[in-house]
């Protein structure tokens, strides 16, 4: 058996470093949430900057294959120009060769330099250097992509920082309409802040209006009609979504997820879980979960089984035949709703 992944501190833990002004000499950030990595670097840099006494003691490097890790280590090991500290930020560390040399630096970093390293992407093994040493000294931090409950909670907190009240349910609605790509979600939130002006609360109507600007409909509306068994309207919206550029495989994925949530709900309800508990159990936002399980048509076991089979048949048709997307959508809706 392979070794399990060690427990890696979250990049969000650095908030306590900033508040307490207790900084580490080395930070190695990695993960798929590039927005959080960039945000953490900006926050750390702003907090550390007052400790620098010269502009020459701050370096920002976007690494590529032409850069040498030895040059960066030499730069970090050299004394500051002023009588304060030194800050070096290196992004795209994954592009550098011979990164294992960093292990020696991490074992005994100088006390006058703050070295922040950003590795954009996943890391699968932590047994090799420099990761082993970075982890041992607590210099390694992961930026995981937020999903479901975590992303919904982040939205609520982010809105509060921006001076707005966003309920968990309305945050969930925003995720359902706009998706779970954090940078795009943050853009939508900023639009909502501008749209609501002096008004403190962001309502569900605000979310629907701003997130659907330029659209007459959304995948949210499509699932709503589908879940209530409204065949004609579901087909109309499904075809319009295809016309607007939505990929049919993405729509099939949404429908499949939708049906799985209903199946899970039936099971979890049978053991006495509340809707909120069940939403947390399956890792989706409460608003979407509640909206999903209120779709009465597929709460019928026979309808649910027929719907799941129709989605599977549609996927097979797309992969094994030359049937066009609109025909596949038409057959899908006809088979799902009798």
Tell me if 76 sits within 8 A of 103, measured CB to CB: no
pLDDT by residue (tens digit) across 39-50? 899 999 999 999
**Domain coordinates of the chain in residue numbers?**
11-142, 148-211, 219-336
pLDDT by residue (tens digit) across 78-90? 999 989 999 999 9
Q: Give dist(CA 119, CA 21) in Å, integer.
A: 24
Per-residue pLDDT, averaged over 54-71, amounts to 91
Closest CA to 62 of 93, 41, 20: 93
Q: What are the start-end ranges of the H helices in the chain?
A: 14-20, 34-48, 69-77, 102-107, 131-136, 148-161, 168-178, 182-196, 204-211, 219-227, 231-243, 248-270, 275-282, 286-293, 301-320, 325-336
DSSP state of 137: T
User: Is residue 185 classed as helix, strand or coil in its secondary structure?
Assistant: helix
Q: Is the dihedral of CA 200, 205, 207, 213 positive or negative?
A: negative
Q: Is the dihedral of CA 48, 53, 57, 62 positive or negative?
A: positive
Per-residue pLDDT, averaged over 46-55, amounts to 94
User: Is residue 318 classed as helix, strand or coil in its secondary structure?
Assistant: helix
Lowest-confidence range among 3-7, 20-24, 136-140? Answer: 3-7
Residue 17 tokens read as 């470093």
**What is the architecture of the domain spanning 148-211?**
Orthogonal Bundle (1.10)
Q: Does domain 11-142 have CATH number 3.40.50.300?
A: yes
**What is the architecture of the domain spanning 219-336?**
Up-down Bundle (1.20)
């Amino acid at each position: 058996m392979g070794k399990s992944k060690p427990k890696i501190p979250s990049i969000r833990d650095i908030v306590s470093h900033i508040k307490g002004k207790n900084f580490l000499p080395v930070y190695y950030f990695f993960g798929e949430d590039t927005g959080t990595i960039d945000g953490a670097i900006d926050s750390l840099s702003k907090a550390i900057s007052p400790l620098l006494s010269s502009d020459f003691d701050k370096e920002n490097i976007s690494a590529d294959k032409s850069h040498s890790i030895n040059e960066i280590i030499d730069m970090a090991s050299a004394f500051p120009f002023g009588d304060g500290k030194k800050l070096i930020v290196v992004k795209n560390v994954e592009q550098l060769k011979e990164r294992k040399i960093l292990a020696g630096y991490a074992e005994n970093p100088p006390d006058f330099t703050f070295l922040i390293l950003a590795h954009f992407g996943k890391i699968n093994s932590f047994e090799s250097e420099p990761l082993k040493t970075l982890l041992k000294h607590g210099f390694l931090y992961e930026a995981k992509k937020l999903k479901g409950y975590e992303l919904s909670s982040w939205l609520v907190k982010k809105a509060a920082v921006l001076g707005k009240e966003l309920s968990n349910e309305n945050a969930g609605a925003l995720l359902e309409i706009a998706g779970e790509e954090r940078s795009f979600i943050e853009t939508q939130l900023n639009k909502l802040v501008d749209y609501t002006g002096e008004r403190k609360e962001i309502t569900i109507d605000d979310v629907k209006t701003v997130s659907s600007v330029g659209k007459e409909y959304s995948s949210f509306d499509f699932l709503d009609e589908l879940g209530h068994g409204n065949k004609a309207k579901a087909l109309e919206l499904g075809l319009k979504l295809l016309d607007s550029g939505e990929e049919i495989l993405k729509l099939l994925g949404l429908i499949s997820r939708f049906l799985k949530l209903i199946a899970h709900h039936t099971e979890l309800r049978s053991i006495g879980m509340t809707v909120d508990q069940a939403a947390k159990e399956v890792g989706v936002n409460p608003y979407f979960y509640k909206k999903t399980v209120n779709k009465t048509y597929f709460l019928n076991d026979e309808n649910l089984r027929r719907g799941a089979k129709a989605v599977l048949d549609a996927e097979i048709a797309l992969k094994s035949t030359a049937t066009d997307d609109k025909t596949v959508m038409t057959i899908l809706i006809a088979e799902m709703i009798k």
